[in-house]
Amino acid sequence: MMHDLNLMVAGPQGSGINFTSDTFAKVMTREGYHVFTNAELFSTIKGDHSYFRVRVCKDMIRSYSERIDILIPLDAKSVILHTKELSKEGVIISEENLSDQRRASIPYREILQVVATKFGKSLADLNVMKNTVALAGASKMIGLDKEKLKKVISENFESKPKIAEMNNAVVDEVYAEFTPTHTFDLEPTAYKKRMFINATHAVGMGKVEAGLKFQSYYPITPASDESNYLERVMGKYDFIVEQTEDEIAAINMAIAAANTGLRSATSTSGPGFSLMVEALSYAGMTETPVVIFYYQRAGPATGMPTRHEQGDLRYALSAGHGEFPRVVIAPGDHKEAFYDTIDAFNIAEKYQLPVIVLLDKAMAMSNYTVDPFDLSKIMINRGKLILSETSDYLRYRLTDDGVSPRLVPGVKGGLITIAGDEHEEDGHIFTEDADNRVRMMDKRMHKMKFVHEEVPSDTKVKFYGIPTNKKVIVSWGSVKGPILDAMEIVKDVSMLQIRMMEPFPVEEVMKFLEGKRIITVEQNYSGQLADLLREKTGLETSSRIVKFNGRPIAFEEMVEVLSRKELKEREVLTYA
Amino acid sequence: MLNTVNPPTKPQNYKTSVEIDWCPGCGDFGILNALVLALQELKIPNENVVLTGGIGCSSKIPHYVNVNTMHTLHGRSLAQAQAVKIANPRLEVISASGDGDGLGIGAAHIVAAGRRNVDLTYMLFDNGVYGLTKGQASPTLPYGEMPKSLETENLKFPVNPLFLGLASGFTFVARSYSYNIKHLKETLIRAIKHRGLAMVDIMQPCVTYNNINTKEFYDPRLYDIEKEGWNPAAASENDYKQKVPQAVLKALEWGDRIPMGVFLDYQTETYDQKLQRLVPDYGKKNYVMEPIETSGKPVNDVTELMDSFC
């Protein structure tokens, strides 16, 4: 019996590869399996070689495998490129009846001809359904009930019932005509309700739950999927998503909406964030509760827009001129992304400062199964927001905790004066008084002390594995997945996931790391977290494991490197 | 939305007590006075007005007007103003900007704003120079001119704000003059009352740095197009399409005679009305006042969204 099954759909971008892999993944999700997918796309609309991996297992999985058990190639190039990854029992679903043992040949032409005739179409019309032939073939090899596959196909083509009907006729025909010589006997599992989502969905749902009323964005990979998802649901949940002329407008609009009283956010990636930086500093100065969702991708400059990297940690922490308080949170999986999104709004409003939620491409484009979120414990904290009549109001009133009562326009008895120049308590700027400057800097920076003291330890760090292990991996973001999977095999390492980067949780980190041998794993060139760790705690990393070729870390390469007896000061992973 | 509950009674109620740091004789004073008079006449409660500014001499005006104010970043007055209005359509929103702020660093927002048609008033303080940085050429300075503050003559052609406003889709486009407070006040009132995006290009001498476009320059040249028979009103889309090219021709006049007045006044669908097509409840409830939690528990429930992924 097979413990985990790995399917790859490969072909030209735009040939329906994601439809095929998503459909398969959805069927397996509904069978009760854990499903993990990885998408490697070219930054084009049509033509270039792209592929999707789907890994299925009855146990929790959080990474993709280098191994392919079923390859669905939608062109010849895919066969050439990926055959070498086939496992010993692996098969290629193909059209031609070649003598290669590893090919499961399906009579594509005959099957599509039968369906074409039935629907009064030509064979050419049905060429686009080749992927359905392969998908049905794979499903039959795994022994799936064809009706379950047909149901998912019908849902996917909900608005085009005729197309659904034709695709489902193809499924019937494959199940009738194709007798596989290979079959895959996957360990059975019991049904459990799970969502099949990526981080953009998790963040999107988090924002709805948190009461988001205004989101602005400028299209950018891989962040805009989140805004597009929110556009799909804004009519029902009554909020506005505004596509702006550039990222400068996006952040400025989000800031203004926040200062008008709404829970407000913007989502972007590295190049877009660069355009937002002046306004980030403004948000710090004006004490605006705005939340920026920052989906990192491979840089610098345009870099590799559809590829993965965690290269912007130091940038997110330091971006913006001058010194101002900010909070940076880095969720490590979709579940954390949902809860952290809600926390981010609470922190932003409670302490009146900008919050950056640092995500990455691997999370944004990797769909996997997640248990439904527990909504029962979610709380909303809007801090010192004033919505009813007031008097003697000062927007930047000095208080013990540095946080002033926050009025918004339209409330009787008070007016707000927001200013990006240094200001007095009333928000007016015609002072460059030295004492006032010190008071106001103290007021703003002082808030970080309370964030540091009040945010629960769990939000800042998470420890996994056996506490007595000498070796501790320190990591962040989506790398958590392959590390935790590898730790099921490599038992002598533990992991400390750092979730809050600013303010940096020095005490919590010291508690877990003092006296340990520290290994960092991150997807950037230099080991930015290792540097940050040294800066904040003085702790030295014994080995920096990095990967910066644009691809997430695979399960096997993670196991291999962590199993080594000796690790060099710097280890570079390169699997692609 | 104009709300007439408990109007302030004296013009001074719209002025703050903050000491004004503009140069003596600056054209900004006339604009401030006209705006205060317009607000007084419209009787909009102070707390329902939001005035945004960018960066520059003119963009300090938020500090002198006794309403809610947002002194934003250089070039971002209009971007922030639109978001304020989208966030709370019940507010009366006015955006102030200089010619460098609005037509230089912030020009992208003018084009995008025209495409939205958010119901607000955009005041462009237009003096041809960057005053606060000691008088460099701004995007409206005429070609070949060299006011005393410049090191070299200006080699760039000027942007015509009215033409740009018309091309971008502003539905109310006007020009006035800081030394004609009566005309400016009336024009601002018409702009504020207009349902949609209004631009008022305000000719304004910089007494410190621009010794060419002075009061003496403008006084004999400015003429009121509406007094010469121009009717800015466009009653239908067809009317609008015919009116715009004529308004552009008028707007391009410059020389011995410089046109002022309202060039276009076209009532069409505003952005809040358009948003209702996507979000049916938008504008019916006040997002700002609508609670998102009850005793800390979220009002929204994403169970249905979660189920859609199962």
Domain range summary for chain B, segments of one domain joined by +: 11-307
Minimum CA–CA partner of A415 in chain B:
B68
Phi (first) and psi of residue B238, to 5 degrees: -65, -45
Task: Determine the length of chain B.
Answer: 310
* Chain A residues 216-255 with CB within 8 Å of chain B: 216, 231, 233-235, 237-240, 242, 244-246, 248-249, 252-255
Domain with CATH 3.40.50.920 in chain A: 460-573
CB-CB neighbors (< 8 A) of A257 in chain B: 83-84, 86-87
Name the least confident of A34-43, A98-107, B30-39.
Answer: A98-107
Alpha-carbon distance of B19 to A44, in angstroms, equals 57
The whole-number average pLDDT for the span A4-29 is 94
Residue A104, beta-bridge partner list: A93
CB-CB neighbors (< 8 A) of A429 in chain B: 60, 63, 71
Alpha-carbon distance of A101 to A370, in angstroms, equals 37
Q: Which of B45, B87, B303 has the CB atom closest to A261's CB atom? A: B87
Assigned CATH for A4-177 = 3.40.920.10
Q: Report the gap between the CA of A562 and the closest CA in chain B (Å).
A: 35
Task: Please state the CATH superfamily assignment of the domain spanning residues A196-370 in this structure.
Answer: Thiamin diphosphate (ThDP)-binding fold, Pyr/PP domains (3.40.50.970)
Q: Which of A211, A379, A428 has the CB atom closest to B63's CB atom? A: A428
Question: In the predicted model, is pLDDT for residue B6 greater than 60?
Answer: no
More confident residue, A539 or A95: A539
Q: What is the pLDDT of residues A205-249, one digit of tens each?
A: 999 999 999 999 999 999 999 999 999 999 999 999 999 999 999
Q: What is the pLDDT of residue A14?
A: 81
Q: What is the pLDDT of residues A22-74, one digit of tens each?
A: 999 999 999 999 999 999 988 777 778 999 999 999 999 999 999 999 999 99
Alpha-carbon distance of A231 to A229, in angstroms, equals 5
CATH of B11-307, one of 3.40.50.450, 3.30.360.10, 3.40.50.970, 2.60.120.10: 3.40.50.970
Domain with CATH 3.40.920.10 in chain A: 4-177
Cβ-defined contact of B79 to A248 (cutoff 8 Å) = yes
Q: Could you give the ipTM of this predicted complex? A: 0.96
Which of B59, B281, B302, B303 to substitute to test the interface with A, most A CBs within 10 Å?
B302
CB-CB neighbors (< 8 A) of B299 in chain A: 211
Would an 8 Å CB–CB cutoff place B48 in contact with chain A?
A: yes
CB-CB neighbors (< 8 A) of A210 in chain B: 292, 298, 300
Cβ-defined contact of A279 to B76 (cutoff 8 Å) = yes
Q: How does A170-180 read in b/e, with b if 16+ C-beta sit within 10 Å?
A: bbbbbbeebeb
* Chain B residues 239-278 with CB within 8 Å of chain A: 275, 278
Please tell us whether the domain made up of A460-573 is placed in CATH 1.10.3720.10: no
The whole-number average pLDDT for the span B13-18 is 94
* Chain A residues 252-311 with CB within 8 Å of chain B: 252-257, 259-264, 278-279, 282
Domain with CATH 3.40.50.970 in chain A: 196-370
Alpha-carbon distance of A107 to B119, in angstroms, equals 62
Q: What is the pLDDT of residues A241-295, one digit of tens each?
A: 999 999 999 999 999 999 999 999 999 999 999 999 999 999 999 999 999 999 9
Task: Determine the length of chain A.
Answer: 576
The packing angle between helices A247-260 and B77-87, to 10°, is 50
Confidence of residue B1 (pLDDT cuts 50, 70, 90): very low
Cβ-defined contact of B282 to A261 (cutoff 8 Å) = no
Confidence of residue B10 (pLDDT cuts 50, 70, 90): low
| Residues with Cβ within 8 Å of residue B294, at least 6 apart in sequence | none
State chain A's maximal CA–CA distance in angstroms.
87
Q: Are B94 and B52 in contact (CB under 8 A)?
A: yes
Q: What is the pLDDT of residues A465-516, one digit of tens each?
A: 999 999 999 999 999 999 999 999 999 999 999 999 999 999 999 999 999 9
Name the least confident of A167-171, B12-16, B227-231.
Answer: B12-16
Q: What is the pLDDT of residue A99?
A: 59
Cβ-defined contact of A256 to B79 (cutoff 8 Å) = yes
Minimum CA–CA partner of B115 in chain A:
A245
Would an 8 Å CB–CB cutoff place A420 in contact with chain B?
A: yes
Q: Are B302 and B150 in contact (CB under 8 A)?
A: no
Cβ-defined contact of B76 to A252 (cutoff 8 Å) = yes
SS3 A158: coil
User: What's the helix, strand, coil split of chain B in %, to 5?
Assistant: 40, 20, 45
Would an 8 Å CB–CB cutoff place B2 in contact with chain A?
A: no
SS3 B235: coil
CB-CB neighbors (< 8 A) of A289 in chain B: none
CB-CB neighbors (< 8 A) of A378 in chain B: 297-298
Cβ-defined contact of A29 to B305 (cutoff 8 Å) = no
Would an 8 Å CB–CB cutoff place B155 in contact with chain A?
A: no
Question: In the predicted model, is pLDDT for residue A431 greater than 90?
Answer: no
The whole-number average pLDDT for the span B28-48 is 97
Q: Are A527 and A541 in contact (CB under 8 A)?
A: yes
Question: In the predicted model, is pLDDT for residue A97 greater than 70?
Answer: no
Cβ-defined contact of B289 to A248 (cutoff 8 Å) = no
Minimum CA–CA partner of B113 in chain A:
A245
Q: Report the gap between the CA of B209 and the closest CA in chain A (Å).
A: 22
SS3 A326: coil
Confidence of residue A94 (pLDDT cuts 50, 70, 90): confident
The whole-number average pLDDT for the span A433-443 is 97
Q: What is the pLDDT of residue B3?
A: 47
CB-CB neighbors (< 8 A) of B310 in chain A: 29-30, 193-196, 372
Cβ-defined contact of B79 to A387 (cutoff 8 Å) = no
Question: In the predicted model, is pLDDT for residue B301 greater than 60?
Answer: yes
Q: Report the gap between the CA of A358 and the closest CA in chain B (Å).
A: 23
| Mean pLDDT across chain A | 96
Cβ-defined contact of A235 to B279 (cutoff 8 Å) = yes
